[in-house]
Amino acid sequence: MEYHVIDAFTDKLFRGNPAGVCLLNGQLDDAIMQSIAAENNLSETAFLLKHDNGHYGLRWFTPTLEVDLCGHATLASAFVLFDEKEKSSTELTFDTASGELTVTKEGDWICLDFPARPATECPAYPSIEEALDVEPLAVYKSRDLLVFIKDEYTLCGIKPNFALFRQVKIDAGLDSDMHGIIVTAPGIECDFASRFFAPLAGVPEDPVTGSAHCTLIPFWSNRLGKKVMDARQLSSRGGILRCEDCGDRVKISGKAVRYLKGTIEL
């Protein structure tokens, strides 16, 4: 099986978010895909299978479970296809658990057309403040929890207590370990900045999280009164995203660079 590791939402090696991309020749058992993702131990491994209609089936696995949406591994998958298999194309369509996703290529930038996931305000449960050791200005919920804090300096200094995240899940009434906690603040050199933590899904801190921006974009668009915004994710690797609020959809753009190409032997 052809296998790639792509650093997404960056144009520099060892930055952004590394994703595994597996190009399938046929159907593969779910348990084997989960085992491959665990063996790779990246935040997500994507599995691609071309359909007769020209679309690609796309699934995403963390080291511990399958997720319903992943931005950086979709960008990484599109990068591999544009570079290797679909060189004459500027648009790809993926069939996924989150519906049909379209990805376009615009120079060095790859643009993801994703569903918006607006959040609604919810109580600032004490367990959230304890888990993050930071005082929220407000807390919102969609698939993930979004914690709004005062500034980028505070955001950079967060050192979560991951042992408390199970209690956050219980308090917030979240029904799946698939969720994470987005922490966001106004940006210094961008419109907004964020970090993303999902220890219950096997990802303590995700370097750059495209799917979190399905919630961040409508939140900040409404707050700033802007449709087009620049964003940064402030993990140790860091990532840069161009964002656009399109109502019930969002556009998330980034660059990517290949780290590895090889073969998985099963």
Look at residues 52, 65, 8, 28 and name the one whose alpha carbon lies nearest to residue 213.
Answer: 8
150 and 91 fall within a common domain: no
Instruction: Give the CATH number for residue 231.
Output: 3.10.310.10
- State both tokens at 98: 């989150």
152 and 43 fall within a common domain: no
CB 265 within 8 A of CB 9: no
Instruction: Give pLDDT, residue 17.
Output: 98
- State both tokens at 11: 């144009």
CB 68 within 8 A of CB 61: no
133 and 230 fall within a common domain: yes
Is residue 244 annotated as part of the catalytic site, yes or no? no
Owning domain of residue 106? 2-114+253-263
211 and 133 fall within a common domain: yes
222 and 125 fall within a common domain: yes
Which H, E and C letters describe the chain, residue by residue?
CEEEEEEECCCCCCCCEEEEEEECCCCCCHHHHHHHHHHHCCCCEEEEEECCCCCEEEEEECCCCEECCCHHHHHHHHHHHHHHHCCCCCEEEEEECCEEEEEEEECCEEEEEEECCCCEEECCCHHHHHHHCCCCCEEEECCCEEEECCCHHHHHCCCCCHHHHHHHHHHHCCCCCCCCEEEEEECCCCCEEEEEEEHHHCEEEECCCCCCHHHHHHHHHHHHCCCEEEEEECCCCCEEEEEEECCCEEEEEECEEEEEEEECCC
Instruction: Give pLDDT, residue 175.
Output: 87
Q: Count CA within 13 A, CB hemisphere, residue 100.
A: 6
Buried b (16+ CB within 10 A) or exposed e, 158-179: bebeeebbeebbebbebeebbb
Q: Among 39, 44, 84, 244, which one carries the catalytic annotation?
A: 44
38 and 149 fall within a common domain: no
69 and 179 fall within a common domain: no
- Residue 85 buriedness (CB in 10 A; 0-12 / 13-18 / 19+): middle
199 and 216 fall within a common domain: yes
109 and 144 fall within a common domain: no
227 and 125 fall within a common domain: yes
CB 264 within 8 A of CB 36: yes
- State both tokens at 68: 């319903």
Domain count, the chain: 2
148 and 179 fall within a common domain: yes
99 and 147 fall within a common domain: no
What are φ and ψ of residue 234, in 5° steps?
-100, 45
Instruction: Give pLDDT, residue 195.
Output: 98
Digit-by-digit pLDDT tens for the chain (266 residues) are 999 999 999 999 999 999 999 999 999 999 999 999 999 999 999 999 999 999 999 999 999 999 999 999 999 999 999 999 999 999 999 999 999 999 999 999 999 999 999 999 999 999 999 999 999 999 999 999 999 999 999 999 999 999 999 999 999 999 899 999 999 999 999 999 999 999 999 999 999 999 999 999 999 999 999 999 999 999 999 999 999 999 999 999 999 999 999 999 99
Cβ neighbours around 123 below 10 Å, total: 10
